[in-house]
Structure 1
Amino acid sequence: MTPTAVLIVDDEGIVRNALNQWLSLSGFAVSAAANAREAMAKVVETRPLVVISDVRMPFQSGLELLTAIKEQDPTIAVILITGHGDVPMAVKAMRDGAFDFLQKPYEPEQLVSVIERAANQARLQRELLDLRRRLDGGSEQLAGRLIGPSRAMEEVRNLLLDIAAIDTDVIIQGETGTGKEVVARCLHDFSSRAQGPFVAVNCAAIPAELIESELFGHESGAFTGSAGVRIGKFEFANHGTLLLDEIEGMPLLAQAKVLRVIQERMVERVGSNRQIPLDLRIIAATKVNLEREANAGRFRADLYFRLNTATVDLPPLRERGDDALFLFQHFLALAQRRFNKPELPLHPADIGSILAHEWPGNVRELKAAADRFAMGLSRREQSMSALLGANDPIEPGLAERVASYERGIIEEELRRQNNSIAAVCLALGVPRRTLTEKMTRLGVTRSGSG
């Protein structure tokens, strides 16, 4: 593996040399700069993954360098170091995109740990940027439709390309929100039937007494209220693809009639004896295991066996590694353009919350969260974890409860002590450095706005 490229920026030569030696021995590929101007030249030339910069430097500060680096390359992780504890400055740096803010003196091992975490985030950001460039360059490609670099999604894409070329019926299985209709549409668009119609029908949403008319169509006068001829979904999808979504919700009696249509590739409208030949692909989508449903007698086994020529199992988002971050950034960019909002990079804490969230609603939940985040329905000061937690039916874990409790105590004490850090330290019995670190980590400002 290529060593992580790290750039050290400090106007003191002794500090630069000491850091250079320590980080080189720790396995990093290190370069150094004496000021912000020299640092920016190296950023453009070498594009390091991580920049470590002193805050107080002549001509241009570390905070100004942070802004310049993020404008040049938002994927670079910037770690700021200062010998002066300043909570507002630390909070501003984190909100401006700094990965971390360390106060001297610090343990060398601590810095190495922070660099490794920062480098991992920078690599993720660059993979995401490369993916977005591929999406912008060719949305017709399957990778631009089914987003995510995980092995699980790569296997799904490869399977879809194989199945799309074979004119066979398909079952798509996956939890709610995993993108079953998107996958069905991909199967259609990458098949020889792409020029034909793609028709989707939700079987669970049609009343039992209307499902035959909806699927097979009817002739005028076939039943009370049928004033004209109606073409059913099977006939409407002829020469294309018919998606039977939530097929597990189809009544058993209707399943028997659907089985006959699928087997014979002929359909009769209700009230007619004329058989209409069909040339179409059937895709059945379900959020349950149809084999288990058939074994339990809740789904016709013969229909299951007839449809089960090929099966696509969609993994839930929680089993797709870092795909959640790629998808969130993709949907966030789309939402920001749609709502005419500025495109702002995600804060490191936001990224951590996205990757840690279980996403019980899968891609559908993630897209809704990205839309809310883009619209600013949660204040920018509010953490991503708070935004996600507001819609998470699972009770927060111990870490989240402890963080919320600490945040509340500190904010309340700040109000009581008129935002005096020294007074808060005295009241809570903690060192100033400990309080500063906690306020930065928890996103607490001296105004008490959280």
Structure 2
Amino acid sequence: MSAFVTRQHVIFVDDDDALRAATTQSLELADIEVHAFAEAGAALAEIDEAFAGAVVTDIRMPRIDGLEFFARIRAVDPDIPVILITGHADVPMAIGALKGGAFDFLSKPYATDHLVASVRKALETRRLILDNRILRAAAETSVDSPLIGDSPAMAQLRATILQIARADIDVLVEGETGTGKELAALLLHRKGPRSGRPFVAVDCGALPEQLAEVELFGHDRAAAGYGAIARAGRIEQADRGTLFLDGIDNMPLAIQAALLRVVEERKVQPIGAAEPRSVDLRIVASARGDLHAAVRAGTFREDLFYRLNVVRLRMPPLRERKSDIPQLFAHFVEEATGRMGAQDFRMSDAARRHLIEHDWPGNVRELRNFAYSEVLGIAPRAAAATEAMPTLPERIAQFEAHAIRDALASTGGDMTATLAILQIPRKTLYDKIARHGIDPKSYRQ
């Protein structure tokens, strides 16, 4: 899946060398990246469905004219914004193209600020379209794996998990907080021969030492002080399934010694029981830090480490797979909007910058929380986006006013000369001047 749009540019096509150079300079001064071409054929080579920018093109050009160029762009992707540059004689064609899907049209000579404003709206529109495509794809794609991401690191991780899942061997998963260690354990369980059997997760760091033994091993009816009803511990609950020991590096040393027998012999002896009981299970353990370093520090048993370390998986932190951030963010946005009943989502520029620039020390968990917080602020942004987008009649009215003002400016307010340029009836011109609140006297020199 492609990333959220972070860098955009404009393709500008005009066979007039001087105008092309001047317009390119004006757009670049407005901090808009421009790829300029003298003819449409070369520009088409840059355009595909993933094209993240907008196109500005003259209508009158040799070989491939602007309207044919526009038609070819729409054949590639009808959602690419195309702004047409017209001479006054081409206004009817431009209006027809606008009704046929063109984003905007400007008449020569056009004011730089009008061009810049139109281009910026076109770029924002394209960015929203591509972002929304990613969101829809995340919603429509059936995710067979809980580990989301198309980066090489995640592709290799999933391949390794699928390979060792069928082997039904114990696995040690290492990774920072929030990298998805439990999801990796869950995938190992789902893709292995124990799928459909219990998957029992134990947060070793959350177990108080005085309760850890009974929680893990359970107790027999004969156990003094534990009541008359026997209780199966988490280890027995995982019989025939998978036992996931999350944060085993936080397990007290005394409990580690008792766990060693379970790992070595697959036997568990509840508190008060006369004999150990056999259990058939797979053990997946996770550690937030370097478990080998914990062995050297004396906080983790060396013999238990080597028993668990049959196969070791390393979960990459998010900062090492930043190309996965857009897909993950889209997944969490879809998840959040579904839960909160939101109808639409528009990512702010600040959020987009944060996705790119942040190091994500809390990894995927932090990204998920960020996505949820963004969705909570969706309504004001969505409303602002709707209000900012002009309708087709509004665009045509803006063009009319702009064309009349340009003609008046070029003729110094001379109405006869203005009529000759615009080629419309005198009454029509005066009606439009009144409708748009234009004062011809202000243009007289």
Provide the rounded CA distance (Å) in 2 between the counterparts of 1:26 and 1:42. 11
Give the whole-Å Cα distance in 2 for the aligned partners of 1:227 and 1:95. 72
Is 1:45 paired with 2:75? yes
Letter in 2 for 1:192: P
- Residues 86 and 225 of structure 1, relative CA distance in 2, 3 Å threshold: farther
Matched-pair contact (CA < 8 Å) for 1:333–1:343:
no
Task: Tell me the residue number matched to 2:361.
Answer: 360
2:95 alignment partner in structure 1: 59
Question: Match for residue 269 of structure 2?
Answer: 268
Q: Deviations over 1:354-389 (max 9, x none)?
A: 1221111100010011111112179639xxxxxxxx
The match for 1:93 is 121
CA contact (8 A) 1:372 1:378 kept: no
Is 229-238 or 35-44 further displaced after alignment? Answer: 35-44
Displacement after TM superposition at 1:52 (Å): 5.2
The CA distance in 1 between the partners of 2:152 and 2:281, in whole Å, is 31
Larger Rg: 2
The separation in 1 between residues aligned to 2:123 and 2:80, in whole angstroms, is 17
Secondary structure in 1 matching 2:160: helix
Residue aligning to 2:251 = 250
Q: Tell me the CA shift for residue 46 of structure 1.
A: 1.2
Q: Distance in 2 between matches of 1:47 and 1:166?
A: 47
Matched to 2:299, the amino acid is R
Amino acid of the structure 2 residue aligned with 1:236: Q
Which letter does structure 1 place at the counterpart of 2:354? S
Q: How many residues align?
A: 335
Alignment RMSD: 4.1
Aligned residue in 2 for 1:21: 38
Q: Does the aligned pair in 1 maintain the 2:332–2:368 contact within 8 Å?
A: yes
Kept after mapping to 1: 8 A contact 2:222/2:273: no
1:198–1:242 CA contact under 8 A, matched in 2: yes
The Cα of 1:223 is off from its aligned counterpart by 3.4
Aligned counterparts, 1:221-260, within 5 A: 221-260=222-261
2:256–2:301 contact (8 Å) kept in structure 1: yes
Q: Tell me the percent identity.
A: 33
Q: Distance in 2 between matches of 1:63 and 1:204?
A: 63
Query: For residues 14-163 of structure 1, what are the structure 2 equivalents within 5 Å?
Result: 19-21=36-38, 28-29=45-46, 34=59, 41-47=71-77, 51=81, 53=83, 58-59=94-95, 83-85=111-113, 93=121, 97=125, 128=134, 132=138, 136-139=140-143, 141-142=144-145, 145-163=146-164
Residue identity opposite 1:183 in structure 2:
A
Distance 2:18 2:78 in 1: 16
8 Å Cα contact 1:213/1:232 also seen in 2:
yes
Q: Do the aligned partners of residues 162 and 86 (structure 1) sit closer, same or farther apart at CA in structure 2, a change above 3 Å counting?
A: same
Structure 2 partner of 1:291: 292
Q: Is the 8 A contact 1:36 1:61 kept in 2?
A: no
Structure 2 CA distance for aligned equivalents of residues 262 and 280 of structure 1: 10
Q: Distance in 1 between matches of 2:103 and 2:354?
A: 24
How many Å separate the matches in 1 of 2:364 and 2:176?
10
1:11-31 CA-partner distances (Å, limit 9, x unpaired)? x88599954427866894469
Change (3 A) 1:94 1:205: farther
- CA contact 2:346–2:378 (8 Å) conserved in 1: no
* Whole-angstrom CA distance in 1 between matches of 2:356 and 2:180: 19
Please report how far the alpha carbon of residue 136 of structure 1 lies from its aligned counterpart in structure 2 after TM superposition: 3.5
Contact 2:81 2:122 in 1 (8 A): no
Q: For the residues of structure 2 that align with 1:333 and 1:317, how far apart are their CA atoms?
A: 20
- Checking the alignment, whether the CA contact within 8 Å between 1:7 and 1:33 is kept in structure 2 is no
- TM-aligned CA deviation for residue 282 of structure 1: 0.3
- Specify the alignment match of 1:112 in structure 2: none
